[in-house]
A and B are shown apart, each in its own frame.
Chain A
Amino acid sequence: MAVWACRSRRKSGTACAVLLIAAILAAVPSAPAALRNIVIDPGHGGLDVGAKGKFGSHEKDVTLAVSLKLKTLIEKTMSCRVIMTRDKDFDVSLENRAAVANNNNAQLFISIHANGSVRNKAHGAETFFMNVNASDEETRKLAYLENTSGELDKRIPDEAQDEVKMILWDMAQTAYVRQSQRLAEMIQEEINAALKIENRGIKQAGFKVLQGVACPAVLVEIAFISNAEEERKLNDEYFQNHVAEALHRGLVRYLKLFPQK
């Protein structure tokens, strides 16, 4: 019984992923070629408040404030369409955030967060790109996919299809890791130049929200909300504007370097 329940849960997840992939495939041809789409993902929202500060601030509020400022800056200065995964205080699943990017044929995905640590002293900004922590089995399947990409549908028997597509969806970001790293470097450089907070550099980690994104994607931890001094800064409008400007400069630099997706 327990075994069966476990399997059926996996199946529904697979079906969901197949639907999402179908949606992506449908969306690709209709997207206008010239206008670039940038997806901004304000971390958390709704019941998911994210990390909490000692003075009561919630990560979800800070991330939304900075995201909205970044949106305004991009729309003012660039010929880009900005899509927000949320523009108010509500829940969005991590999978749906990636789906927003893929369904809109995004050229860039930037997820904005504020960090939290059990160490009171932890402070500074860092930019993450995805760590590919694939198991042996997943690696084997990815290798199989790469070798058969053209004839995928013909060569994989029906019953194996769902699972292969699930892996493909789970691992969509693997194809963009190198570009994501460049984007992370440029954003982190701009943050370092603009903010007088410690440079924690670029890092890799297994962020769920980045895994399924099929374009260059980064996650920025602006500062530590768990650090009293940085919690105060995060709530300061001047600091928020400063961060948004730095993120904006990073995006502009990256898009100049890679005009096409």
Chain B
Amino acid sequence: MPKSTRAVLIPILAVAVVGLAVFFFLSDNRESIKKARPGAGPTAEEGTSPADSRPKRTVNLLFLRDESDALIPEAREIVADPSSPAFEAREILGELLKGSQSGLLSTVPPETKLIQVYITKDGTAYVDFSREFADRHPSGSNAEIATIYAVVDSLAYNLKSVKKVCLLVDGEERETLAGHIAINHPILPDFSMIAAD
């Protein structure tokens, strides 16, 4: 093959491959979404500047107290965007990862980063955390249940469009969070985990 032809063909092939990837990503939101992670979509800037005039809303994030297993809501302001539940989901989880502002216990390992959140039409939120979410988890049934429902319920409690949550770790499906509770299927919220108040 002459060099000049190759020079033309390679970019065309590259474009075709990218195009196909995008096509598969868009055409199959159930399977492909688990692996495809398009160039880490920009989330809202951390910490709103004093001049930030974007509309806000109050959400309830779930933490623990040392006394009981019940998840305790803590009110927090996030930037609101009613047209994009995925944006609000990222805001909610970003705040959850920052930990409690009133001395409650966090259920998520502090090193955990949020990579991405998608919400499909059927109401499944795909939440992709960095590997610390599972690898730095202390393990234990009680701790795993608390982590899973703090995340799942924090989303479903504040976002009507979220019906169930699929937890991914660094883009991959894991069998369990840390040796006990299965996270290889979508998890339904369980609001009975939240403290009655």
Contact = CB atoms under 8 A, between A and B. Distances in A.
A34 interface: no
Contacts of B176: 94, 208
A53 to B, nearest CB: 10
B67 A5 contact: no
A226 B138 contact: yes
Contacts of B77: none
A207 B178 CA distance: 11
A205 B145 contact: yes
A6 B28 CA distance: 12
B139 A2 contact: no
Nearest to B37: A2
B185 interface: yes
Interface in A1-50: 1-3, 5-7, 10, 43-44, 48, 50
A120 interface: yes
Nearest to A209: B180
B124 to A, nearest CB: 9
Given A133-B188, A206-B181, A206-B187, A118 B138 contact: yes
A118 B185 contact: no
Interface in A81-96: 94
A50 B140 contact: yes
A163 B35 CA distance: 20
A119 B140 contact: no
B131 to A, nearest CB: 16
Nearest to A4: B24
Given A51-B140, A52-B138, A118-B107, A7 B31 contact: yes
B179 A50 contact: yes
Given A1-B21, A128-B141, A206-B187, A119 B64 contact: yes
Contact of B175 (A115, A119, A208): A208
A2 B21 contact: yes
B90 interface: no
Given A119-B66, A133-B185, A133-B187, A51 B32 contact: no
B143 interface: yes
Contacts of A44: 179
Contacts of B24: 3
A205 B181 contact: yes
A59 B143 contact: no
Interface string B129-155: 000000000111111011000000000
Contacts of B186: 135
Contacts of B32: 2-3, 6
Interface residues on A, range: 35 or more
B105 interface: yes
Contacts of A209: 180
A119 B138 CA distance: 11
Contacts of B164: 135
Contacts of A6: 31-32, 34-35
A121 B143 contact: no
Interface string A216-240: 0001010011100000000000000
Given A2-B21, A205-B181, A226 B140 contact: yes
In this complex, the member of B35, B65, B69 whose beta carbon has the largest number of chain A beta carbons within 10 angstroms is B35
A181 interface: no
Contacts of B17: 1
A122 B69 contact: yes
Interface string A167-198: 00000000000000000000000000000000
8 contacts: A3-B24, A3-B35, A59-B139, A118-B146, A208-B176, A208-B181, A211-B182, A219-B141
Given A3-B35, A51-B143, A133-B185, 16 more contacts: A44-B179, A50-B139, A50-B140, A115-B142, A116-B142, A118-B107, A118-B143, A120-B66, A128-B141, A205-B180, A207-B141, A207-B182, A208-B182, A209-B180, A211-B182, A225-B140
